[in-house]
Amino acid sequence: ETGVTQTPRHLVMGMTNKKSLKCEQHLGHNAMYWYKQSAKKPLELMFVYSLEERVENNSVPSRFSPECPNSSHLFLHLHTLQPEDSALYLCASSQELVSGNTIYFGEGSWLTVV
């Protein structure tokens, strides 16, 4: 149990589907993140939220749409994805959005786009 829970753990979707990834943190943190982990590439930061406000969008295509309804929950809405979007999507949280704060990761959601 990491304190950051992601569902589903595995997802297969077609290119025309709409699905969502869910993340919940039980740590009382104020900052949450989405990272993408693809084979043979460094982890890529996608979005950063602090106190439910989006503070960073790292040039992510609009087919990925994040939502942060409260400081404990973070969603990643997916629509019209491409096969190259297949990856492990990691949610994470930290106490504050301050350098040096430890970031805690969930176990990830494995996404396959067919």
Partner 1 sequence: GNSVTQMEGPVTLSEEAFLTINCTYTATGYPSLFWYVQYPGEGLQLLLKATKADDKGSNKGFEATYRKETTSFHLEKGSVQVSDSAVYFCALSEAGANSKLTFGKGITLSVRP
Minimum Å gap between C-beta 56 and partner 1 is: 7
Following DSSP, what letter does each residue of 39-65 receive, concatenated? TTS--EEEEEEETTEEEEE-S--TTEE
Give the nearer residue to partner 1 in terms of CB position, either 81 or 91: 91
What strands, in cross-sheet order, belong to the sheet with 4-7? Answer: 4-7, 18-25, 73-79, 64-70
Q: Which residues bind partner 1 (CB under 8 A)?
A: 2, 4, 6, 31, 33, 40-43, 45, 48, 50, 55-56, 90, 92, 94, 96-108
Give the nearer residue to partner 1 in terms of CB position, either 16 or 41: 41
